Chains A and B, each alone.
Chain A
Amino acid sequence: MISDSNQPRTIHSATVRFAGDSGDGMQLAGMRFTDASAMLGNDVATLPDYPAEIRAPAGTVAGVSGFQVNFASKDIYTPGDEVDALIAMNPAAFKGNSQDVRSGGLIVVNEDEFNKVNLRKAGYPEGYNPIEDDKLNAKYKIVKVPITRMTEEELAESGLGAKSVGRCKNMYALGLILWLYDRPLDHTIAFLETFFGKKKNLPEVAAANVKALKAGYHFGETAELSAHRYHVDPASIPSGTYRRITGNEATAIGLVAATTLAEKTLVYCSYPITPASDILHYLAAQKHFGVKTLQVEDEIAACCAAIGAAYAGQIGVTGTSGPGVALKSEAIGLAVMTELPLVVVNVQRGGPSTGLPTKTEQSDLFQAVYGRNGDCPMIVLAPRSPADCFDSALEAVRLAVKHMTPVMVLSDGYLANGAEPWRVPEADFLEKITIEHPRPSEGDEPFQPYTRDGNLARPWALPGTQGLEHRIGGLEKEDGSGNVCYVPENHQRMTQLRREKIERIAEFLPPAEPDGPDDAKLLVIGWGGTYGTILTAVRNAQEQGKSVASLHLRHLNPFPANLGQVVAQSEKVLVPELNAGQLRSLLRDRFLVDARGLNKVQGQPFLIEEIEQAIDLMLSGDWGDHASLCPHNHKVTAPA
Chain B
Amino acid sequence: MTTTELPVLKPKDFASDQDVRWCPGCGDYAILTQVRKVCAALGARREKTVFVSGIGCSSRFPYYMNTYGFHSIHGRAPAIATGIKAANPELDVWVITGDGDGLSIGGNHLLHTLRRNLNINVLLFNNRIYGLTKGQYSPTSEEGKKTRSSPMGSIDMPLLPLSIALAAEASFVARSVDVSKNLGDVLRRAAEHRGTAFVEIYQDCNIFNHKAFEYATDKATREDATLWLEHGKPMLFGKERDKGIWLDRCGKPKVVELGHGVEEEELLIHDEHDEAKAFMLSRMMHPHFPEPMGVFYQIQDFCYEQLLEQQITDAVERNGQGDLQKLLYTGDCYEVKEQAPTHALHE
Q: Cβ of A464 and Cβ of B47 under 8 Å apart?
A: yes
Complex contacts, B319 vs chain A, CB 8 Å: 288
- Known contacts A287-B315, A305-B82, A465-B47: A41-B336 contact under CB 8 Å: yes
Q: Is A241 an interface residue when CB atoms closer than 8 A count as contact?
A: yes
Contact of B321 among A43, A77, A288 (CB under 8 A): A288
Q: Which of A261, A428, A466 has the most CB of B within 10 A?
A: A466
Of B151-159, B293-301, B327-335, the stretch lying at the interface with chain A is: B327-335
Q: Cβ of A241 and Cβ of B84 under 8 Å apart?
A: no
How does the 8 Å CB contact mask read for B254-277 relative to A, with 1 for contact and 0 for none?
Answer: 000000000000000000000000
Residue of A nearest to B59 (CB): A473
Of B71-79, B142-150, B224-232, the stretch lying at the interface with chain A is: B71-79
Interface residues of B in 174-195 (CB under 8 A from A): none
Interface residues of A in 294-344 (CB under 8 A from B): 294, 296-298, 300-302, 304-314, 316, 330-331, 333-334, 338
B116 vs chain A, min Cβ distance (A): 8
Q: Cβ of B328 and Cβ of A290 under 8 Å apart?
A: no
Q: Cβ of A292 and Cβ of B47 under 8 Å apart?
A: no
Q: Cβ of B76 and Cβ of A297 under 8 Å apart?
A: no
Complex contacts, B241 vs chain A, CB 8 Å: none
- Known contacts A239-B336, A312-B87, A470-B68: A253-B345 contact under CB 8 Å: no
Interface residues of B in 129-166 (CB under 8 A from A): none
Complex contacts, A423 vs chain B, CB 8 Å: 344-345
Contact of A484 among B47, B63, B324, B338 (CB under 8 A): B63
- Known contacts A253-B327, A331-B73, A464-B90: A236-B47 contact under CB 8 Å: no
Q: Cβ of A235 and Cβ of B86 under 8 Å apart?
A: no
Q: Is A117 an interface residue when CB atoms closer than 8 A count as contact?
A: no
Q: Cβ of B333 and Cβ of A267 under 8 Å apart?
A: no
Interface residues of B in 31-55 (CB under 8 A from A): 45-48, 50, 52, 55
Contact of B334 among A38, A292, A298, A463 (CB under 8 A): A38
Q: Cβ of A256 and Cβ of B327 under 8 Å apart?
A: yes
Contact of B88 among A261, A291, A334, A463 (CB under 8 A): A463
Q: Cβ of B328 and Cβ of A471 under 8 Å apart?
A: no
Of A16-24, A242-250, A498-506, the stretch lying at the interface with chain B is: A242-250
Of B104-112, B201-209, B215-223, the stretch lying at the interface with chain A is: B104-112
Q: Cβ of B88 and Cβ of A304 under 8 Å apart?
A: no
B75 vs chain A, min Cβ distance (A): 8
Q: Cβ of A308 and Cβ of B81 under 8 Å apart?
A: yes
Residue of B nearest to A426 (CB): B325
How does the 8 Å CB contact mask read for A478-491 relative to B, with 1 for contact and 0 for none?
Answer: 00000110000000
A241 to B45, CA, bound (A): 52
Complex contacts, B323 vs chain A, CB 8 Å: 427
Complex contacts, A473 vs chain B, CB 8 Å: 62, 69-72
B76 vs chain A, min Cβ distance (A): 4
Q: Cβ of A469 and Cβ of B68 under 8 Å apart?
A: yes
Q: Cβ of B18 and Cβ of A309 under 8 Å apart?
A: no
Complex contacts, B342 vs chain A, CB 8 Å: 236
Complex contacts, A265 vs chain B, CB 8 Å: 87
Q: Cβ of A256 and Cβ of B81 under 8 Å apart?
A: no
- Known contacts A288-B316, A463-B91: A475-B86 contact under CB 8 Å: no
Q: Cβ of A304 and Cβ of B83 under 8 Å apart?
A: yes
Residue of A nearest to B108 (CB): A297
Q: Cβ of A297 and Cβ of B336 under 8 Å apart?
A: no
Q: Is B337 an interface residue when CB atoms closer than 8 A count as contact?
A: yes
A463 to B50, CA, bound (A): 7
Contact of A334 among B72, B82, B111, B325 (CB under 8 A): B72
- Known contacts A298-B108, A301-B109, A463-B47: A237-B344 contact under CB 8 Å: yes
Q: Is A468 an interface residue when CB atoms closer than 8 A count as contact?
A: yes
A236 to B66, CA, bound (A): 64
- Known contacts A240-B335, A311-B83: A257-B324 contact under CB 8 Å: yes
Q: Is B340 an interface residue when CB atoms closer than 8 A count as contact?
A: yes
Residue of A nearest to B47 (CB): A466
Q: Cβ of B84 and Cβ of A301 under 8 Å apart?
A: no
Q: Cβ of B80 and Cβ of A236 under 8 Å apart?
A: no
Q: Cβ of A292 and Cβ of B71 under 8 Å apart?
A: no
A472 to B315, CA, bound (A): 35
A316 to B339, CA, bound (A): 43
Q: Cβ of A312 and Cβ of B83 under 8 Å apart?
A: yes
Q: Is A35 an interface residue when CB atoms closer than 8 A count as contact?
A: yes
How does the 8 Å CB contact mask read for A111-143 relative to B, with 1 for contact and 0 for none?
Answer: 000000000000000000000000000000000
Contact of B82 among A234, A245, A294, A298 (CB under 8 A): A294
Q: Is A269 an interface residue when CB atoms closer than 8 A count as contact?
A: yes
Q: Is A39 an interface residue when CB atoms closer than 8 A count as contact?
A: yes
Interface range on chain A: under 10, 10 to 19, 20 to 34, or 35 or more? 35 or more
Q: Cβ of A236 and Cβ of B70 under 8 Å apart?
A: no
Complex contacts, B339 vs chain A, CB 8 Å: 234, 236-237, 239
Q: Is A160 an interface residue when CB atoms closer than 8 A count as contact?
A: no
Complex contacts, B84 vs chain A, CB 8 Å: 308-309, 311-312, 463
Complex contacts, B336 vs chain A, CB 8 Å: 41, 234, 237-242
Q: Is B251 an interface residue when CB atoms closer than 8 A count as contact?
A: no
Q: Is B320 an interface residue when CB atoms closer than 8 A count as contact?
A: yes
Q: Cβ of A446 and Cβ of B72 under 8 Å apart?
A: no
B87 vs chain A, min Cβ distance (A): 4
Interface range on chain B: under 10, 10 to 19, 20 to 34, or 35 or more? 35 or more
Q: Cβ of B83 and Cβ of A469 under 8 Å apart?
A: no
Q: Cβ of A316 and Cβ of B341 under 8 Å apart?
A: no
Q: Cβ of A446 and Cβ of B17 under 8 Å apart?
A: yes
A470 to B72, CA, bound (A): 14
Q: Cβ of B88 and Cβ of A313 under 8 Å apart?
A: yes
Q: Cβ of A304 and Cβ of B331 under 8 Å apart?
A: no
Q: Is B318 an interface residue when CB atoms closer than 8 A count as contact?
A: yes
Q: Is B249 an interface residue when CB atoms closer than 8 A count as contact?
A: no
- Known contacts A244-B331, A256-B327, A308-B80: A471-B71 contact under CB 8 Å: yes
Q: Is A421 an interface residue when CB atoms closer than 8 A count as contact?
A: yes
How does the 8 Å CB contact mask read for B88-116 relative to A, with 1 for contact and 0 for none?
Answer: 10110000000000000000110110000
Contact of A294 among B16, B83, B335 (CB under 8 A): B83
How does the 8 Å CB contact mask read for A264-301 relative to B, with 1 for contact and 0 for none?
Answer: 01010100000000000000001111111010111011
Q: Cβ of A292 and Cβ of B327 under 8 Å apart?
A: no
Complex contacts, B112 vs chain A, CB 8 Å: 296-297, 301
Complex contacts, A302 vs chain B, CB 8 Å: 79
Q: Is A474 an interface residue when CB atoms closer than 8 A count as contact?
A: yes
Q: Cβ of A288 and Cβ of B82 under 8 Å apart?
A: no
B122 vs chain A, min Cβ distance (A): 14
Residue of B nearest to A466 (CB): B47
Q: Cβ of B72 and Cβ of A304 under 8 Å apart?
A: yes
Complex contacts, A311 vs chain B, CB 8 Å: 70, 80, 83-84
- Known contacts A240-B335, A288-B316: A305-B47 contact under CB 8 Å: no
How does the 8 Å CB contact mask read for A24-66 relative to B, with 1 for contact and 0 for none?
Answer: 0000000000010011010100000000000000000000000
A274 vs chain B, min Cβ distance (A): 21
- Known contacts A312-B83, A314-B88, A427-B325: A238-B341 contact under CB 8 Å: yes
A298 to B78, CA, bound (A): 12
Complex contacts, B285 vs chain A, CB 8 Å: none
Q: Is A513 an interface residue when CB atoms closer than 8 A count as contact?
A: no
Q: Cβ of A77 and Cβ of B324 under 8 Å apart?
A: no
Q: Cβ of B80 and Cβ of A471 under 8 Å apart?
A: no
Complex contacts, A240 vs chain B, CB 8 Å: 335-336
- Known contacts A38-B334, A286-B327, A305-B79: A464-B91 contact under CB 8 Å: yes
Contacts A237-B343, A311-B70, A464-B48 supplied; 9 other A-B pairs, CB < 8 Å: A237-B344, A287-B316, A290-B312, A292-B308, A304-B109, A305-B83, A308-B84, A427-B324, A463-B91
Chain B residues with a Cβ under 8 A of chain A: 16-18, 45-48, 50, 52, 55, 62-63, 65-73, 76, 79-88, 90-91, 108-109, 111-112, 308, 311-312, 314-316, 318-325, 327-329, 331-346
Can you pick out 11 interface pairs between chain A and chain B where the beta carbons lie within 8 Å of each other?
A35-B332, A38-B332, A38-B334, A237-B344, A267-B86, A288-B320, A304-B82, A309-B87, A333-B73, A334-B72, A430-B324
Shortest 8 CB-CB contacts between residues of A and residues of B: A308-B83, A473-B71, A289-B322, A305-B83, A304-B79, A287-B315, A471-B69, A312-B87
